[in-house]
Amino acid sequence: MTLDPESLDLLLATVRRFVAERLRPLEGRVGEEDEVPPEIVEEMREMGLFGLSIPLEHGGLGLNMGEEARVALELGRTSPAFRSVFGTNVGIGSQGLVMAGSEVQKREWLPRIASGEVITSFALTEPEAGSDSASVQTKAVRQGDVYRLTGTKRFITNADKASLFTVMARTGEPGAKGVSAFLVPAALPGVGVGKPERKMGQQGAHVCDVTFDDTPVPVANRLGEEGEGFRIAMRVLDRGRLHIAAVCVGVAERLIEDVVAYAGTRRQFGRPIADFQLVQAMIADSKTEAMAARALVLEAAEKKDAGAPITLEAAAAKYFASEMVGRVADRAVQIFGGAGYIADYGIERLYRDVRLFRIYEGTSQVQQLVVARETMKRGG
């Protein structure tokens, strides 16, 4: 379903105002305390942000990919940690259920995910399985009406707040065809969550190890058939990569605005540094790359909404946008000079925050492999 233009404009304006008036003033506090204030989380619930991509019939806003990308562009104009509060509910933590869940599973979980009552996490990465996601070693052994789940997952976003995990586990042969997907409530016996990791950036967005020790998962909690887990994960990541790419563009656009404002007021040699051509060149490069990334994201989103396969386009968008925002952030630090290295200005924080975009939901190198493989499949 597509929102009418007036409703979409109203939603975008609401998110834009929320970002400007409520989130940006709190960026420093969240960076220092490593926690998003509970009142902000509650406001996000009331706005429906936890259910952006959940179908209307299950209590969400039912946004299509193009609409979700435009919301993500707005959310990118503040610390990425804020978006991460509900990011797993919107993306990787819910979309496996949306795409492959039974009607019973959807009715049980999706309304509570959309409202933010249930926080979800996507448990794929392991100590020995990251980019090589088909090599997961967590095992799910069927015993009658349950699977016994045993293994360790690593760097799982929102794990310390999650009450439902989408877990990829091995039920069969080595490789992708032996991986299955499960809905695993955090309250089940044998589920353990480690302490949040100390990270380089994105303070306020927590990642933890998750362990499963002979956890009894009902057969009814399997997503799809045995052996379909890897395919489900890849479909989920196509959408997630586009969402992340849009956030990257939003952060880049915010950084460019900050740079332009600073360069217009910072004076050296008797005039604003914006007058110097080498500063202008950095601004021009940043603006051009951000515009290109925005166009790539929105074109890929349009193709997805039209029903076309977008594995190539999603990988290309995520690859280009995540690398682009890293370059934009680096130029921003350079233009701010010494101020860019000082915490009070916030530029160094965003510089650290955006580094993660080139790693999670598929590293840049994995995206390159996907783009090359899909290009060759299509005959160039």
Convert the pLDDT of each residue in 315-327 to its tens digit. Answer: 999 999 999 999 9
Q: Which of 173, 253, 361, 374 is catalytic?
A: 361
Question: Mean per-residue pLDDT for 86-96?
Answer: 93
Query: How many Cα atoms are found within 13 Å in the side-chain-facing hemisphere of 133?
Result: 21
Predicted pLDDT of residue 129: 82
The answer to whether the pTM exceeds 0.75 is yes
Place of tokens 């939901």: 361
- Per-residue pLDDT tens digits for 30-83: 999 999 999 999 999 999 999 999 999 999 999 999 999 999 999 999 999 999
The pair phi, psi for residue 335, each rounded to 5°, is -70, -40
Retrieve residue 13's tokens. 């304006």
The region, left, alpha or beta by phi > 0 then psi within -120 to 50, assigned to residue 39 is: alpha
Question: Mean per-residue pLDDT for 335-356?
Answer: 96
Distances (CA, A) of 333 to 26, 256, 318: 21, 11, 23
- Per-residue pLDDT tens digits for 95-113: 999 999 999 999 999 999 9
Return the DSSP state at 126.
Answer: B
- pLDDT value at 2 more than 80: no
Share of the chain above pLDDT 70, in %: 99
Retrieve residue 73's tokens. 């562009």
Q: Which residue spans within the chain are E strands per DSSP?
A: 120-123, 139-143, 146-157, 164-170, 179-185, 191-193, 207-218, 222-223, 267-268, 271-272
- pLDDT value at 163 more than 90: yes
- Per-residue pLDDT tens digits for 263-275: 999 999 999 999 9
- Look up 313 and say whether it is catalytic: no
Domains identified in the chain and CATH numbers: 5-115 (1.10.540.10), 120-224 (2.40.110.10), 231-377 (1.20.140.10)
- Per-residue pLDDT tens digits for 177-236: 999 999 999 999 999 999 999 999 999 999 999 999 999 999 999 999 999 999 999 888
Mean pLDDT, the chain, rounded, equals 96
Question: Mean per-residue pLDDT for 270-289?
Answer: 98
- pLDDT value at 1 more than 70: no
